[in-house]
Chains A and B, each alone.
Chain A
Amino acid sequence: MSTVPDDLRYSKEHEWVRLAGDTATIGITHFAQDQLGDVVFVELPKQGSTVRQYASLGVVESVKAASDVYAPLSGEVIERNVKVIESPELVNKSPYQDGWLIKVRLADKGELEKLLSPDDYRSHIGETAPSGG
């Protein structure tokens, strides 16, 4: 059973978003890291670059798979998680906390409408019962 915290928003491509003012923290979900297996490499955009909703922002790799991470929202990258680049296993150990990927200054709050609620995401991954964060 994958954890799907109730205080986050989600994308169909298995990214999560945590909002604080106009800053969005982005990572990949517990479900995504579980599917991928042990993460061995993370590639993230540079600070100051911009990401576009639904466009690839970077890559997470396991030994036998490479998976694009798609930006759930558009905006400027204000911080990237250097710890996760150094220790990719954080994506597995703590997908919603220490394993976050980038922080983005929102360009368009309207895009939030297109994200999934925790319940929608649970049914998207075929899990109905809320399991909390």
Chain B
Amino acid sequence: MKALEPLLFELARPGRSGGHVRADGSAEIPTSFARRAPLRLPELTEPQVVRHYTHLAQLNYAVDTGMYPLGSCTMKYNPKVNDRVAGLFADLHPRQSYRLTQGVLALAYELEQMLVKITGMDFVSLQPAAGAQSEFTALLVFKAYHAKRGQAAQRRRIIVPDSAHGTNPASAAMCGYEVTTVKSDARGNVDLEALRAALGPDVAGFMLTNPNTLGLFEERVREVCDAVHRAGGLVYGDGANMNALLGIARPGDLGFDCVHINVHKTFSTPHGAGGPGAGPLCVKAHLRPFLPKPWIVREADGSYHYDTAREDRDPETVGDSIGTIKQRLGNFGVLARAYTYMKSLGDEGLVETSEDAILAANYLLARLRPTYQVAYDRTPMHEFVLTAAPQKKKGASALDIAKGLIDEGFHPPSVYFPLIVAEAMMVEPTETEPKETLDAFAEAMLRVAERAGTDPESLHQAPLRAPLRRLDEVSAARKPVLKWKLPS
């Protein structure tokens, strides 16, 4: 079989060894418990392993190699100093006493305060490990809030817009809620009449991304929040698109009861080939009692501790908290990077971040608008959605255009999302791409559009300049091969 790079298993030979750890001391494992199953892990030397992963790395497109305009993902530059300082906190265990981790608690406490100021909320839980876990956490908080008011059994429905990320309905279902979808109106906003019709005494809450997944600010966001509140529901803010709002607008001023932050988007922590992230949940005061525990307390003398009487006490025995979603302070190593970024930028730098993100998106849209069709053509915030429906009619789909862009040397935008736009291409340039790169990307998009008109067939063959041609995803799903099959 032809391959770009052999698998570890194919490079291995019995007897090779890295010599990183040698056994010292003897350990008797009771025979009834000892491993009898073979352990056929590959045996390799360190130079082989280094070359293998170096070769693999070279097959990847990444922010460090080029512009990555993946809409809704905020693939901005990830500053290297953040990674280095995170290493200062590497040798700390979450079960160490608070007395020995005052630096961690000081950092986390200040980070909470910074997020309060940026979002206009009152309190923060740093525990959720990612946006989706934060959504789930917030819905547990909603459930606990309604339960406290004797309405848990009654309020069993969550409403989401049809433009929502898939995580929103998935989180609601995971939390035991029924999901109702409301449509968007002609301007790309939540259809307020449809929302009002869907609201009722059985609604626990509404989940709204703002700016929404079309990159558009909800023009009637306060009316939307008011309508939900009048029906006794709560409004969840999906903060996936906070990169447009730093010093521009605060969810807390717009009617949201809570909002999560994707620090791996807005606050520059690296996306790590799919993760890790961190998803702090910021809430208004009325939801605070239900936040995950423990909470950090700052004493007048500037020392910090956790709020539980004894630091190992089970949080479920304390107040109305939903409990623990992820121990202590969640993905602290990611949060330390975000903190560093925020300290580096300060007030003016954060405002400039969102201004430049909005500027870049509008500039790119201005260059592409004459050629591509815009899904909902009004002024976007930090990202915008095109539809390749006209190109599709000529024979080149959004997928073909994406693959054509790969041959132009760019990572494609998000395609086929949001679901409400046919042949969607969602472009988020971020604030860290220089104008000349934005221009080069625009010109690549225009060249691909030209090919779509004159020679769509050639785009079906794309990519030709990537490490691989198009992959057979149908066979991969029909006859899944999910691990290396050891020769029997």
Q: Which residues of A are at the interface with B, using a C-beta cutoff of 8 A?
A: 38, 40-41, 61-64, 88-89
4 pairs of A and B residues whose beta carbons are closest in the complex: A40-B477, A38-B474, A63-B473, A40-B478
Q: Which residue of A lies closest to B475 (CB)?
A: A40
Give A88 to B478 CA distance when docked, in angstroms: 8
A41 neighbours in B (Cβ, 8 Å): 477-478
Is B372's CB within 8 Å of the partner chain A?
A: no
- The distance from the CB of B173 to the nearest CB of chain A, in whole angstroms, is 14
Known: A38-B474, A40-B474, A41-B478. 8 other contacts (CB 8 A): A40-B478, A61-B477, A62-B474, A63-B474, A63-B476, A63-B477, A88-B478, A89-B478
- The distance from the CB of A49 to the nearest CB of chain B, in whole angstroms, is 24
A38 neighbours in B (Cβ, 8 Å): 474
- The distance from the CB of A80 to the nearest CB of chain B, in whole angstroms, is 18
B477 neighbours in A (Cβ, 8 Å): 40-41, 61, 63
- The distance from the CB of A3 to the nearest CB of chain B, in whole angstroms, is 22
B416: which of A62, A64, A89 is its contact (CB, 8 Å)? Answer: A64
Interface of B: prevailing SS: helix
- The distance from the CB of B181 to the nearest CB of chain A, in whole angstroms, is 16
Q: Which residue of A lies closest to B399 (CB)?
A: A64
B473 neighbours in A (Cβ, 8 Å): 63
Give A16 to B382 CA distance when docked, in angstroms: 47
A63 neighbours in B (Cβ, 8 Å): 473-474, 476-477
Q: Which residue of B lies closest to A64 (CB)?
A: B416
Give A18 to B473 CA distance when docked, in angstroms: 33
B478 neighbours in A (Cβ, 8 Å): 40-41, 88-89
A61 neighbours in B (Cβ, 8 Å): 477
Q: Which residue of B lies closest to A63 (CB)?
A: B473
- In chain B, residues 458-474, which have Cβ atoms closer than 8 Å to a Cβ of chain A? 473-474
Give A79 to B473 CA distance when docked, in angstroms: 30
Q: Mark B412-425, 1 if CB is under 8 A from A, else 0.
A: 00001000000000
Give A88 to B474 CA distance when docked, in angstroms: 11
Give A84 to B331 CA distance when docked, in angstroms: 45
- The distance from the CB of A65 to the nearest CB of chain B, in whole angstroms, is 10
- The distance from the CB of A38 to the nearest CB of chain B, in whole angstroms, is 4
A89 neighbours in B (Cβ, 8 Å): 478
Give A61 to B474 CA distance when docked, in angstroms: 10
Give A130 to B478 CA distance when docked, in angstroms: 34
Give A63 to B478 CA distance when docked, in angstroms: 9
Give A40 to B480 CA distance when docked, in angstroms: 10
- The distance from the CB of A37 to the nearest CB of chain B, in whole angstroms, is 8
- The distance from the CB of B478 to the nearest CB of chain A, in whole angstroms, is 5
Q: Mark B393-425, 1 if CB is under 8 A from A, else 0.
A: 000000000000000000000001000000000
A40 neighbours in B (Cβ, 8 Å): 474, 477-478
- The distance from the CB of A67 to the nearest CB of chain B, in whole angstroms, is 14
- The distance from the CB of B297 to the nearest CB of chain A, in whole angstroms, is 47
Q: Mark B474-488, 1 if CB is under 8 A from A, else 0.
A: 101110000000000
- The distance from the CB of B368 to the nearest CB of chain A, in whole angstroms, is 25
CB<8 Å pairs between A and B, sample of 15: A38-B474, A40-B474, A40-B477, A40-B478, A41-B477, A41-B478, A61-B477, A62-B474, A63-B473, A63-B474, A63-B476, A63-B477, A64-B416, A88-B478, A89-B478
Q: Which residue of B lies closest to A61 (CB)?
A: B477
Q: Which residue of B lies closest to A40 (CB)?
A: B477
- The distance from the CB of B161 to the nearest CB of chain A, in whole angstroms, is 20
- The distance from the CB of B415 to the nearest CB of chain A, in whole angstroms, is 11
- In chain B, residues 211-225, which have Cβ atoms closer than 8 Å to a Cβ of chain A? none
B416 neighbours in A (Cβ, 8 Å): 64
